[in-house]
Structure 1
Amino acid sequence: MKKILLVEDDLTYSRIVKTFLEKNGFAVEASTKVKEAQNILNSGKFDLIIADFRLPDGTGMELLQWSKKEFPQTQVILITHYSDIRIAIKAMKLGAFEYITKPINPDELLATVNESLSSKSKAPEAISDEASPSKPNQKSGSSPSTNFYVAGTSPESEKLEKHIQLVAPTDLSVLILGETGTGKEFISRRIHEQSERRNGPFIAIDCGALPKDLAGSELFGHVKGAFTGALDNKTGHFEAAHGGTIFLDEVGNLSYEVQIQLLRAIQERTIRKIGGNKEININVRIIAATNENLLLQAGEGQFREDLYHRLNEFTLHAIPLRRRKEDLEIFAEHFLEESNQRMNKSVKGFTSEVWEIFLGYDWPGNLREFKNIIQRAVLLTTGPLVEKEALPADLNNPEFAFSSNRPSNTMNQAQDLPSPRDYKSQWIEQEKELIQQVLQDTKYNKSKTARILKMDRKTLYSKMEKYGLN
């Protein structure tokens, strides 16, 4: 019997979910706090963790990161409110198998649990001390199931495709900028497949999911005995990508020390394994991606400016889904076909009401959110067409269509708080207005503006570029 650890602080909700899973043949142990869950995991073996995002002493994200380090083969499903969609997407990038939203649909929960447990036995294939160029490691949680790519028909999409075709045959390093879920890895694969390196390996690394103390070993490898736990020689991702392309997603999350090693690898085209003294020649093309402002981070000392310029020989901008509504139908058809195959169903399409909702929604989670919405809808659909009842309640309510902080329809409504992203958005807007006001008051004297705002000129220039105030 498969063992599940359920971490949920709402006791009523926990009891309902626990009873439902037990009736379906699972052994379930319940917990209400992160620390308590960690103690339970340390004292017994579990096949699956189901954790709510908001917990009394922390978050489900913290438990996810800890469990992936301590018990990497144990799958994690995160429970979120629908207004936490960006958090849920980040959780999947950090290794969560899937997220489900409150109020929980029993069929969706059971299907997700069964799928996570059946895929668990396949997980070791993706974890190897020796990464093979013919079987490159994929980053956890966000690897595309196929090389499906939509060039698109909107003017912005056509411009992006034109730039991809221009840069692909070269060996320039490319920096892809864009929001979470906009398909930056798909763009990088497209570049690789259109390049002279198409027959070489393509290795995608999520830098945000790399443990800080092991990032150097993962990227550059290590020799036996280099540190505690280094029981054998390890080939790093750069060496495994020889002759091909390496994709560094969320590159801004790398520590300063690893940034130095990466800069040296780019400049000298050689690497040295952790604990080793032999220089290894590498022949790789580097494509990096981020949803952060690396130039701003450079101005604040968080990212090396020389590395930024090395990575940014050519810039591409991934397009948010809200700005490429013309392409929704193509994506929907693909995700529908993929979901039918995954769930052994034969849903034919979507009603006009559903399309109206799709076209009116702003898709803050972009393609990842769209894909997950369609998967959920296919699961819940019993007829030939997806109807609006199969969509999350918040999604098909028009008054929430353009709200980035939609209230949740859950038992825990009193405990809800705006997401960290919403607080950050408010802070960014206030900072922009303040800088703009001081610039106007000083007649755009940047030295005086920097003194009044108590920041150096370099930081001011970075913020002006970030907010389009030049």
Structure 2
Amino acid sequence: MAHAAEWAQAHSQQEDRHHAVVLFVEPLDEVLQLARGHLARSGVRILSATAAQQVPEGVQVAVASQVGAVRWVRDVLPGATVLAALVYPTPEEAVAAMRAGASDVVCVRGEPEPVVQRVQEAVRHRMEMDRRAASGGPWKFEGVVGSSPAMHEVLRVASIVAPTDATVLLTGESGTGKELVARSIHLQSRRASGPLVVLHCGAIPETLLETELFGHEKGAYTHAMGARPGKFEQAQGGTLFLDEVGDMSPRMQVKLLRVLQERVVERVGGTRSVAVDCRIVAATNRDLRRMVREGLFREDLFYRLNVVNLRVPALRERLEDLPALAEFFLDKYRRHVGKPVRGFTDGAMQKLLDHPWPGNVRELEAVVHRAVILTRGVWVQPEEVQLDVFPHRSAR
């Protein structure tokens, strides 16, 4: 139960943006009680409550030990960051907590230190988010250009999920920048000091994809002269980005599902299981829900990957970002080419805005690159914007 002094302190200092208020939702086991005490002694303002109490609006981070409590916090404090602190959770319990609204799931074991660390990380990230919101600045992800409502929402959700270990599924047409969003999520996560390993699943034949993902032992096949770790092992402590995961064969889907469930890999030609610790971000330009209905993609794998879904909008859906994107690419390639190009004429920019962009941002980058090469002056003219040079099929 909350003490009157705690409530008074929270109310009196709500407006102090330099400190965070952390709510612990009772009941709490002994480990969570110890974690609460550690945080209080470190200077974090702590509040305790049950689901029957009214909670002040100053709470920025909440810790709940039950899925029902996570749902309650999400309802009464929609703006708070919610951590689900579960005792040895199963994958199903962790997924249920994320779907209830948890930003992250903390496994509660015998010591309070992991819980304390995760709460402190959530507090730091939340205070940075609040600072940006107070300054009126955009959601800034490294290398991601865009301030349109569509991209603002993508980056808002991405900034919430980034500091967690939740699996993220990025969807959207080819060329929209899904890999860039994945890279930015990694850089804003607590795994940022670890590796970001990228695997384009659609570009590798099935016979090679297994060894790329899981590695192989010496002698596993004719030319395997030595052991080699796969992408899962290479991503230890970091993030594994699986691009075009919808192109995986049914056989590889089964193998990927096993790794996601058990968090162990077995190299091709080996018998030893290797534990893996990496965050998974996947991407596809396919409609996985339709593929599940048609029996082309495993439903259980879909739910493993689709813990948090982020749809990256097509360029035609955020045309207000096009001028900034075009200028970004122009600055990039004028340095590369070595031309003093200053920008686009009004006619050239209008030509860009009138194009449907079936190839999305990737097509825009190619068009601007060519325009910089072709331009004869300091301003890109309409005739130097050659849109028919890069034909594209409609996105799948």
- TM-score (normalizing by structure 1): 0.52
Deviations 1:339-371 (A, max 9, x none): 112222221111110011111112110110000
Counterpart residue identity of residue 271, structure 1: V
Q: What is the DSSP-based 3-state SS (H/G/I as helix, E as strand, rest coil) of the residue aligned with 2:206?
A: coil
Q: What is the DSSP-based 3-state SS (H/G/I as helix, E as strand, rest coil) of the residue aligned with 2:228?
A: coil
Correspondence for 1:377: 371
Q: Does 1:158 align with 2:132?
A: no
Q: What is the DSSP-based 3-state SS (H/G/I as helix, E as strand, rest coil) of the residue aligned with 2:207?
A: coil
Counterpart residue identity of residue 231, structure 2: H
Q: What is the DSSP-based 3-state SS (H/G/I as helix, E as strand, rest coil) of the residue aligned with 1:191?
A: helix
Counterpart residue identity of residue 340, structure 1: R
Deviations 1:140-164 (A, max 9, x none): xxxxxx95112x2221111111101
Distance 1:380 1:394 in 2: 14
Correspondence for 1:357: 351
Q: Does 1:311 align with 2:305?
A: yes
Q: Does 1:331 align with 2:311?
A: no
C-alpha displacement at 1:210, in angstroms? 1.1
CA gap of 1:194–1:258, structure 2 versus 1, over 3 A, is: same
Q: Does 1:148 align with 2:123?
A: no
CA gap of 1:390–1:168, structure 2 versus 1, over 3 A, is: same
Distance 1:227 1:169 in 2: 40
Unaligned runs of 5+ in 2: 1-140
Q: Does 1:215 align with 2:224?
A: no
Corresponding residue to 2:244 among 246, 250, 264: 250
Counterpart residue identity of residue 306, structure 2: N
Correspondence for 1:283: 277
Q: Does 1:224 align with 2:218?
A: yes
Deviations 1:427-467 (A, max 9, x none): xxxxxxxxxxxxxxxxxxxxxxxxxxxxxxxxxxxxxxxxx
Distance 1:259 1:345 in 2: 48
Counterpart residue identity of residue 357, structure 2: W
- Greater mean alpha carbon deviation, residues 368-377 or residues 162-171: 162-171
Q: Is the 8 A contact 2:218 2:224 kept in 1?
A: yes
Q: What is the DSSP-based 3-state SS (H/G/I as helix, E as strand, rest coil) of the residue aligned with 2:173?
A: coil
Counterpart residue identity of residue 235, structure 1: P
CA gap of 1:266–1:370, structure 2 versus 1, over 3 A, is: same
Aligned residue runs from structure 1 range 4-83, under 5 A: none
Question: Percent identical across equivalent pairs?
Answer: 44
Distance 2:309 2:142 in 1: 22
Distance 1:156 1:166 in 2: 16
Aligned residue runs from structure 1 range 332-347, under 5 A: 332-347=326-341
Correspondence for 1:237: 231
C-alpha displacement at 1:382, in angstroms? 1.5
Distance 1:333 1:359 in 2: 13
Counterpart residue identity of residue 357, structure 1: K
Corresponding residue to 2:258 among 256, 264, 268: 264
Correspondence for 1:82: none
C-alpha displacement at 1:394, in angstroms? 4.0
Correspondence for 1:167: 161
Deviations 1:269-321 (A, max 9, x none): 11000010111010010011111111221222221110010000010010111
Distance 1:421 1:314 in 2: 27
CA gap of 1:320–1:353, structure 2 versus 1, over 3 A, is: same
State how many pairs are aligned: 256
Deviations 1:403-437 (A, max 9, x none): xxx9x8xxxxxxxxxx8749x8xxxxxxxxxxxxx
C-alpha displacement at 1:214, in angstroms? 0.5
Counterpart residue identity of residue 271, structure 2: N
Distance 1:310 1:288 in 2: 11
Correspondence for 1:300: 294
Distance 2:180 2:353 in 1: 23
Counterpart residue identity of residue 256, structure 2: L
Distance 1:260 1:392 in 2: 45
Counterpart residue identity of residue 148, structure 1: G
Distance 1:388 1:329 in 2: 14
Correspondence for 1:93: none
Distance 2:388 2:241 in 1: 35
C-alpha displacement at 1:193, in angstroms? 1.2
Distance 2:187 2:280 in 1: 14
> Following TM superposition, where does structure 1 have runs of at least 4 consecutive aligned residues deviating by more than 2 angstroms?
419-422
Counterpart residue identity of residue 176, structure 1: L
Q: What is the DSSP-based 3-state SS (H/G/I as helix, E as strand, rest coil) of the residue aligned with 2:241?
A: strand
Aligned residue runs from structure 1 range 183-194, under 5 A: 183-194=177-188
Distance 1:185 1:393 in 2: 24
Distance 1:313 1:393 in 2: 38
Q: What is the DSSP-based 3-state SS (H/G/I as helix, E as strand, rest coil) of the residue aligned with 2:166?
A: coil
Q: Is the 8 A contact 2:171 2:312 kept in 1?
A: yes
Q: Does 1:203 align with 2:197?
A: yes
Counterpart residue identity of residue 304, structure 2: R
Q: What is the DSSP-based 3-state SS (H/G/I as helix, E as strand, rest coil) of the residue aligned with 2:198?
A: strand
Distance 2:170 2:215 in 1: 26
Q: What is the DSSP-based 3-state SS (H/G/I as helix, E as strand, rest coil) of the residue aligned with 2:349?
A: helix
CA gap of 1:332–1:158, structure 2 versus 1, over 3 A, is: same
CA gap of 1:393–1:361, structure 2 versus 1, over 3 A, is: closer
